[in-house]
Amino acid sequence: MKKVDAVVLIAGLGERLRPLTLLTPKPLLPINNELVLTKILEKILKIEFIEKIFLISAYLKEITYQYFKYLRRIYNKIQLVLDDKLRGTAGQLLSVKKFLNNDVVIVINGDVLSNYEKIITEGIDYHDKVQADLTIISREIEISLRFGILQCSNGKVNKWIEKPKVKHRVSMGIYIINKYLLDTLEDKKFIDMNEWVNSLIQKNYNVYTYCLNDVEFIDIGTLSDYLSVFKK
């Protein structure tokens, strides 16, 4: 397997997890006596073809730096990149661009726990096979709507479907990106990953998704998601 770099995005405000994130960056919250970021890094560090792991921090970066001082005594593959401002989940990648040594970079949201070795290994194989510029790792979820749905034409009801279940393919917050795409990001512009990906599609870049439904997936992006982990 070819060498790649990995980036873990830990720069955000974590607003949906407040008040827990008022004084603590989201990835430094604990789960069962271990920090979320520690759990992520332990899994990524097992992947031998990842040459370097970059952590991008902006919000409460002084606290993250203290944690990093502990990390670098143990792992020399990890590098912390401190940004002066929030740039969005895509825009934040500009701060690490000059440090990347490989043609492909794996980008991971800092609030997702999963089987990274399986995801990244299979995802890169797929990414290369379809000659993608960017691959979004996804999974299928089923959502139960709270209301009955009326199918109508000109006000006439043709069918009533009571609280249907709808399947959607959703992003897992893990991306495989060819490094040259970072040249399309504009400096000093705030841009999230969804907006950037849509702009790449409009520019005819090859954006694919690799769907994995057979891996553990824990998203702690909201307070209810985070608290639900302790109930399992």
Q: What percent of the chain has pLDDT over 90?
A: 41
Alpha helices in the chain (DSSP H): 36-44, 61-71, 88-91, 116-129, 193-202, 223-229
Q: Is 160 a member of any domain? A: no
Total structural domains in the chain? 1
Residue with tokens 């299928």: 140
Residue 120: count of CB within 10 angstroms of its CB = 25
Q: Is 165 domain-assigned?
A: no
- Closest listed residue to residue 139, CA positions, set 165, 101, 170, 181: 170
Q: pTM here? A: 0.87
Asked whether residue 94 is assigned to any structural domain, the reply reads yes
Looking at the domain assignment, is residue 164 inside a domain?
no
CA 170 to chain centre: 12
Judge contact between 107 and 210, C-beta under 8 A.
Answer: no
Cβ contact 179:133 at 8 Å? no
For residue 68, what pLDDT is reported?
Answer: 80
Does any domain span residue 199? yes
Average per-residue pLDDT for the chain: 86
CB 118 within 8 A of CB 126: no
pLDDT at 51: 92
- pLDDT above 70 as % of the chain: 96
Q: pLDDT per residue over 78-117, tens digit each?
A: 888 888 888 888 999 999 999 999 999 999 998 888 888 9
Give residues with Cβ within 8 angstroms of 130, minimum separation 6: 206, 208
CATH number of the CATH domain containing 187: 3.90.550.10
pLDDT of residue 195 exceeding 80, the answer is yes
> Which residue range forms the structural domain that includes residue 22?
4-139+171-229
Distance separating alpha carbons of residues 12 and 87, to the nearest angstrom: 9
Whether residue 74 lies inside any domain: the answer is yes
pLDDT tens digits along 46-72: 898 999 999 988 777 777 777 787 777
Domain-embedded: residue 91: yes
> 132 in helix, strand or coil?
coil
Considering the domain boundaries, does residue 176 fall inside one? yes
pLDDT at 14: 66
